[in-house]
A = this chain, B = another copy of it.
Amino acid sequence: MGKRKAGHGFTEAPEDFLVVGPDFRLDRIDPASTPGFTGSKSDGEAILAQRDPHLADLQERLFAEGKGGGTRSLLLILQAMDTAGKGGMISHVVGAVDVQGVQLAAFRAPTDEEKEHDFLWRVERQLPGPGMLGCFDRSHYEDVLIHRVHNWADAAELERRYSAIQDFEAHLHASGTEIIKVMLHISREEQRRRLAARLDDPTKYWKYSPSDLTERKLWGSYMDAYQIAIERTSTPYAPWYVVPADNKWYARMVVQELLVAALERMDPQWPAPAFDIEEQKELLAQS
């Protein structure tokens, strides 16, 4: 990384300045900031819309490459506190590409069957196929986040999991899956506003759960758990990006650009034909 010029609309390429490095400190990142972007909300929304076709084109190439026998794929992992905007990210950024090339997986509380297996078992079953853009709405990181916060796993088990995640992601990357891990970072105050908005709108009640307040009380513990999980698992082959997300439009611009950057690096190619074109044209003309 670091070789691409600034992303569309940004003063610098977001994959360079939002990537987690060795001195990462979550508490120094302002969720309300919009680093690398000097425009307004409407500027940002315009850029987001303008950039959709480029992302869609790159995604179609990856999809075609997969159909032509390629084995590469791209996986976006989204983690965040409630209301941080994972759903909107999926609808508006991931959802802007061809739905046929998208493989979504939402990881909620594990089922009884899932609990009988190691924590990576259910994740392995949802990995993107060849040519696919996979997107995880929550992920195996829950097993080192909520599990740490609630002490459902002890220190030794958490250590085992950080290592297992590193190994798992290294293997995945070596098998041809590019991995982008994103924490959408909102402030506690912004979460309050968003929860209040859900309680004020009958078309949004279904998005609210009283248990949201239980987790909200543990905000500090969650931030600690994110800090540790991110510093333990941000690697060159599976980097973490912490994206300020109090401004939804900014977070969406960034994630769109992270996907574009990853796909540009992958540079997927239209498959060469596995048949003789002129011969097929003749056969078609006769048919």
**Interface positions of A (Cβ within 8 A of B):** 64, 67-68, 87, 90-91, 94-95, 98-100, 102, 104, 106, 137, 192, 195-196, 199, 202-203, 205-206, 208-210, 213, 216-217, 270-273, 275, 277, 280-281, 283-284, 287
Contacts and interface: CB of A to CB of B under 8 A. Distances in A.
A213 B271 contact: no
Given A192-B287, A270-B203, A287-B213, A208 B280 contact: yes
Most buried by B among A106, A202, A206, A208: A206
Contacts of A273: 205-206, 208
Contacts of A271: 205-206
A interface, over-half SS: helix
Given A87-B100, A287-B192, A287-B217, A64 B95 contact: no
B102 A99 contact: yes
Contacts of A275: 208-210
Nearest to A217: B287
A95 B91 contact: no
A91 B98 contact: yes
Contacts of A272: 205
23 contacts: A64-B203, A90-B99, A91-B98, A91-B100, A95-B95, A95-B98, A95-B99, A95-B100, A99-B99, A99-B104, A100-B104, A100-B137, A199-B284, A203-B270, A205-B277, A206-B270, A208-B280, A209-B275, A210-B275, A210-B283, A213-B280, A213-B283, A213-B284
